[in-house]
């Protein structure tokens, strides 16, 4: 099980416990986290599950593939160095403690 913290633009936090096999996007949807739209359902096509991984993150994340990289250039909120698609972050015990910041908007 992994504990994931979603930080909202207004400073509020939502902390959820998630079991594999899920993704960070699915965790947000299962727990009703506002700010993750996920229009494409997790197929890395829409960019509406965009998050900013905390800059001081020490949790190991999978490498970004070319598809995710391309989609992040078309997101509603600006892409940053720490941008990821939450649908491309699979939950594992190693993800425990991950903190992601939600952008101002997804659409």
Mean pLDDT by 10 residues, the chain (107 residues): 97 97 97 96 96 95 97 97 98 96 96
Q: Which residues of 40-58 are buried (b: 16+ CB within 10 A; e: fewer)?
A: bebebebbbbbbbbbeeee
pLDDT given at position 43: 95
pLDDT given at position 58: 93
Secondary structure class of 22 (helix, strand, coil):
coil
Which tens digits make up the pLDDT trace of 59-72? 999 999 999 999 99
The model's pTM is: 0.96
Which tens digits make up the pLDDT trace of 24-38? 999 999 999 999 999
């Amino acid at each position: 099980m992994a504990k994931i913290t979603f930080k909202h633009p207004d400073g509020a936090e939502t902390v959820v416990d998630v079991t594999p096999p899920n993704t960070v996007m699915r965790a947000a949807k299962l727990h009703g986290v506002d700010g993750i739209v996920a229009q494409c359902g997790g197929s890395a096509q829409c960019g509406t599950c965009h998050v900013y991984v905390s800059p001081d993150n020490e949790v190991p994340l999978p490498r970004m593939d070319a598809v995710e990289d391309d989609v992040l250039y078309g997101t509603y909120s600006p892409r940053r160095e720490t941008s990821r698609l939450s649908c491309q972050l699979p939950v594992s015990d190693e993800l425990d403690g991950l903190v992601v910041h939600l952008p101002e908007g997804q659409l």
